């Protein structure tokens, strides 16, 4: 069994392939994640200027739809709540057409970026948004805490140098508040630098993160060891 890279009262981090760790986990209440999608979306795009990345083409190993679909099914074996993920719209379309068991496709949202990544080539517009898929467990019908709000968000891209595709912490907090309750457990099988885990810990949720690259596990572990940030629950809602 894979041993945790980092663990405290609230957070557990694994430095491993999520496909190896998921079958070993107990039940969680929410999966909130951001897989490395896709080579087409980020083709010839630059990262925004930020410490450690600079204004250069993004370079990471994207995974294809079949692999993502299988991982989503794995998550369904241990999560009885919601599956929320930033994804390529092409993948989201396929998920709506052929939703993996045991999930029920509920909504397609977007994160609109006010400072999107520039396009290296000059033959097309830059991509200014990411898709978000919202699916719930088809049999258990978990609660939704967001009322009548829309599942979209408009903000700047994070460029603090922790990770080239980091998501906005305020939006991540909103998602955690919408799709989970205090004391629940949040899982991020593609943890990156730990934004989801940090937000979950700040909002009194337990969190499990899995990340294949050790350098990001180290960054996430350092973020987890920081003091809990002051809660801004009403603002986050």
Q: Bigger pLDDT: 74 or 37?
A: 74
pLDDT digits (tens, 9 = 90+) for 33-55: 999 975 544 444 444 444 433 34
pLDDT digits (tens, 9 = 90+) for 144-157: 999 999 999 999 98
Mean pLDDT along residues 159-175: 84
DSSP string, the chain: -PPPSEE-SSEEEEES-HHHHGGG---EEEEEE-----TTTTTTBBPPS-TTT-SSB-------HHHHHHHHHHHHTTEEEEEEEEE-HHHHHHHHHSPPTTEEEEEEEEEEESSPPPBSSSSSPPP-EEEEEEEEETTT------TT--S-EEEPPP-SSS-TTPPPHHHHHHHHHHH--TT-EEEESS-TTSHHHHHHHHTT-EEEEEES-HHHHHHHHHHHTSPPPPP-HHHH-
pLDDT range class, residue 2, cuts 50, 70, 90: confident
pLDDT range class, residue 227, cuts 50, 70, 90: low
Domain 6-45+60-236 superfamily per CATH: Vaccinia Virus protein VP39 (3.40.50.150)
159 pLDDT exceeds 80? no
Domain ranges of the chain: 6-45+60-236
């Amino acid at each position: 069994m894979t041993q945790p890279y980092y663990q405290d009262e609230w957070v557990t981090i694994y430095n491993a392939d999520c496909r190896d760790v998921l079958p070993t986990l107990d039940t969680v209440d929410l999966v909130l994640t951001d897989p490395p999608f896709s080579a087409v979306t980020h083709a010839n795009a630059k990262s925004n200027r930020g410490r450690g990345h600079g204004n250069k083409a993004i370079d990471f190993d994207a995974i294809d739809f079949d692999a993502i679909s299988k991982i989503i099914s794995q998550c369904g074996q241990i999560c009885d709540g919601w599956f929320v993920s930033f994804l390529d719209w092409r993948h989201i379309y396929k998920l709506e057409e052929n939703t993996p068991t045991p999930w029920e496709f509920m909504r397609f949202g977007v994160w609109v970026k006010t400072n999107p990544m520039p396009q290296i080539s000059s033959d097309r517009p830059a991509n200014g948004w990411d898709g978000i898929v919202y699916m719930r467990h088809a049999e258990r019908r978990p609660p939704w805490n967001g009322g009548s709000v829309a599942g979209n968000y408009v903000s700047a891209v994070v460029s603090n140098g922790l990770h080239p595709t980091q998501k906005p912490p305020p939006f991540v907090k909103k998602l955690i508040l919408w799709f989970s309750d205090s004391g629940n457990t949040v899982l991020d099988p593609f943890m990156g630098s730990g934004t989801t885990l940090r937000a979950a810990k700040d909002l009194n949720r337990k969190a499990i993160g899995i990340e294949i690259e050790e350098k990001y596990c180290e960054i996430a572990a350092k973020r987890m060891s920081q003091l809990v940030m002051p809660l801004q629950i009403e603002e986050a809602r």
